[in-house]
Amino acid sequence: MNPTPAIEIAGLTKSYGDVHVLQGVDLTIEKGNIFALLGSNGAGKTTTVKILTTLLKADGGTATVNGFDVATQADDVRGSISLTGQFAAVDEILTARENLILIAKLRRQKNPGAIADELLARFSLTEAGNRKVATYSGGMRRRVDIAMSLIGNPSVIFLDEPTTGLDPEARLEVWQTVKELADGGTTVLLTTQYLEEAEQLADRIAILHEGRIIANGTLADLKAMFPPAKKEYVEKQPSLEDIFLAITSKSNGKPASTTTVKES
């Protein structure tokens, strides 16, 4: 009765010389979930994503995406996914619209221009859409990047550290975007080193540590694994993030508003 999981990984291993990056990763991700793979730098998150997106071959173990084996059915896997890598993979010399059209053409979509215009509108980029991406802020680049990943309606989207290097405002923009993705029924595998990001976005969270999954469950599950919360009374100070957002927000404490498009 169980439908095919979006992603199924069993005993995945990968080494670079003497460095054993993945030492037997097991993971199942159901369809329609936002799944966060949490881990510190060097934990193997990007390696896992690269194997799942057919950019890298595993040394051992198996992995399927959308029911297709990443090693033997790489083409079918590529037809089912899209990758938003660690750095915004956007062509800076082209405009946002041209970037979107490029991907739509490569994915053999009808009406690439219409698809581009629709996505520009959805990501509040219509006005900036005909400017070179080189003139964009980090948050806008990421939005273009994610918009490019949606073309062709892939059933699984990989977001590898989508907010690393972004300022807090841009990070909130990206979070908003990711939440909207999941509403559309897409499976999202998100890697992050920020606990808060996993907490904000994910239905389920797995912790990857030294090449193994050491915890896996909902936020509530993970919380239950630890000793019960201690009650302490502490004066609630605004965090630096609260202060930063209060001062810089141009939209009255609604920092994630998509109208905060930077002009340069």
Nearer to other proteins, 49 or 202 (CB): 49
Which residue is associated with the tokens 């291993």?
13
Concatenated DSSP letters of 167-218:
-HHHHHHHHHHHHHHHHTT-EEEEEES-HHHHHHH-SEEEEEETTEEEEEE-
Minimal distance in Å, beta carbon 249 to other proteins?
30
| φ, ψ for residue 247, nearest 5 deg | -75, -45
Nearest to 209 by CA among 58, 37, 55, 35: 37
Distance, in Å, from the CA atom of 234 to the CA atom of 252, rounded to the nearest integer, reads 28
Nearer to other proteins, 142 or 204 (CB): 142
Nearer to other proteins, 82 or 163 (CB): 82
Cβ pair 8, 179 in contact under 8 A = no
Cβ pair 53, 83 in contact under 8 A = yes
Kindly report the CA angle at 185 between 261 and 141, in degrees rounded to 5? 25
Nearer to other proteins, 87 or 223 (CB): 87
Nearer to other proteins, 97 or 204 (CB): 97
Cβ pair 124, 261 in contact under 8 A = yes
Residue ranges binding other proteins (CB under 8 A): 50, 53-57, 75, 78-79, 81-83, 85-94, 98, 102-103, 105-108, 132, 148, 158
Nearer to other proteins, 56 or 219 (CB): 56
In three-state secondary structure terms, 124 is coil
* Strand arrangement, sheet containing 212-217: 81-84, 156-160, 187-192, 34-38, 204-209, 212-217
Nearer to other proteins, 91 or 210 (CB): 91
Cβ pair 83, 49 in contact under 8 A = yes
